[in-house]
Amino acid sequence: MSRQSNRTTDSKKMNAELFTLTYGALVTQLCKDYENDEEVNKQLDKMGYNIGVRLIEDFLARSSVGRCQDFRETADVIAKVAFKMYLGITPSVTNWSPAGDEFSLIMESNPLVDFVELPDNHSSLVYSNLLCGVLRGALEMVQMAVDVKFSQDTLRGDNVTEIRMKFIKRIEENLPAGDE
């Protein structure tokens, strides 16, 4: 806990390339370890979830963001604060569903995919699927169940990268232990 004192709210930055390449090495390894792309996607999502669960604490501690009033505010915080803080990019928030429970994050650039070209035999690999897991895990920790998936990806020839997020439900707090 003695570290608390020298920690600033401003998070330290590093070269994005090492991050990109490290992520690439991980995906490459997963492709070797698993038989098909679906399994790799699943594993990436799982690892992302684990990261998200821990990342939300880091995020809440560093940013002065309070509780979001609605899903629109959540979307703004994710795009303008969280993505900026961790990946150095600011995706735009668009394509709201009429009910306001669904939106898209459009990324012009995605730091995870610099240098990356998908070989033809991995056409169903969702390369950046880790991000979906991160978003899902982080939001779950603030009592929001969401569905997150890639609906467009520049790696597959789309013009932009789009993450579609759908609010499912608010997770009830204070469940008694052992209760479903």
Q: Which amino acid is at 66?
A: G
Distance, in Å, from the CA atom of 43 to the CA atom of 88, rounded to the nearest integer, reads 25
160 belongs to the binding site for other proteins (CB under 8 A): no
| Cβ–Cβ < 8 Å for 101, 116 | no
Beta carbon nearer to other proteins, 20 or 102: 20
Beta carbon nearer to other proteins, 38 or 70: 38
Distance, in Å, from the CA atom of 64 to the CA atom of 117, rounded to the nearest integer, reads 38
Choose the binding region for other proteins from 11-19, 65-73, 96-104, 170-178 (rule: CB under 8 A): 11-19
Residues 31-70, one symbol each (x = binds other proteins by CB under 8 A, - = not), give --x---------x---x--xx--xx--x------------
88 belongs to the binding site for other proteins (CB under 8 A): yes
Beta carbon nearer to other proteins, 24 or 65: 24
| Cβ–Cβ < 8 Å for 133, 48 | yes
116 belongs to the binding site for other proteins (CB under 8 A): yes
25 belongs to the binding site for other proteins (CB under 8 A): yes
List Cβ neighbours of 148 (8 Å cut-off, separation of 6 or more). Answer: 131, 132, 133, 135, 136, 163, 164, 165, 166
